[in-house]
Homo-oligomer: A and B are copies of this chain.
């Protein structure tokens, strides 16, 4: 398309609306401008084409034969454009919120709580995609990621959701009678870990433990690792928010908190990408995390109902 030869789209749009309405004033209302703006566009087009397109007719205007032909085709073109925009907006209005989370977070934090969200917002679908690796939100079309880390990912916005240092935990029976001052006091016990949770490996190494000397059973998902720990099959390290409920219920005991290096779960989003449904979901996440912290501070640490 040689755009050099095509007049201003604003002018063509103004003319089409005026021809369709047979009124400069009505066209102005449709376009949210003054009648003077429409009149100027029309006259500029007539100058460009060296031909009348609209003529005055009483209190309104009428298109000439050439003007009618032009306006009809332009109307088709602008209608197609308007529909294209509407189609995209419609697709976005109802589409589910796509989120990606680490499996550990999904299984141990999110899924036990998501029922509350679903009952509060049955109209909002949330697609939860557990993923072991860091997902490119922009490229893969995700609205939100929940990631564990320091909160600094390039080109993304991040907001801390749960402060969550790692805790070492085990079944009470497994560690009965032991005094635990450091992870070194636990190296003779069996361990269970998720094969893929790099952070688990990293935080253990951060305590000066050589993973090679541990009797570690690697499991394919963090759920399995957690289940094994709950069954007394080994020591595990987990983000605090994952195991808080099991500790409160007495199914696990906290052996020690690992070094806190500013890590936590973050809500990660693409700048500028938002939707009403996403905002509602994020607000619920925020509120739920805050309630968890408040329950933790309450006397006796009553479990969330």
Contact = CB atoms under 8 A, between A and B. Distances in A.
Interface of A: 1, 3-7, 9-10, 12-13, 30-32, 46-47, 49-52, 55, 64, 66, 69-70, 73-74, 76-89, 91-92, 138-139, 141, 270, 272-275
A interface, over-half SS: helix
Contact of A50 (B3, B10, B79, B273): B273
B87 A81 contact: no
Given A52-B138, A272-B47, A7 B70 contact: no
B84 A70 contact: yes
Contact of A9 (B9, B70, B80, B83): B9
Given A141-B64, A274-B50, A84 B80 contact: no
Given A4-B32, A84-B70, A139-B55, A49 B13 contact: no
Q: Rank and list the top 4 A-B pairs by shortest CB-CB distance, nearest first.
A: A73-B84, A77-B80, A77-B81, A47-B272
Nearest to A55: B139
A113 to B, nearest CB: 26
Contacts of A30: 1, 3
Contact of A5 (B10, B85, B138, B141): B85
A76 to B, nearest CB: 5
Contacts of A49: 88-89, 92
Contact of A81 (B69, B74, B139): B74
A9 B84 CA distance: 12
Most buried by B among A7, A32, A80, A89: A80
Contacts of A4: 32
A66 B88 contact: yes
A8 to B, nearest CB: 9
A82 to B, nearest CB: 5
A7 B50 contact: no
Given A9-B9, A78-B77, A81-B78, A275 B50 contact: yes
A50 B272 contact: yes
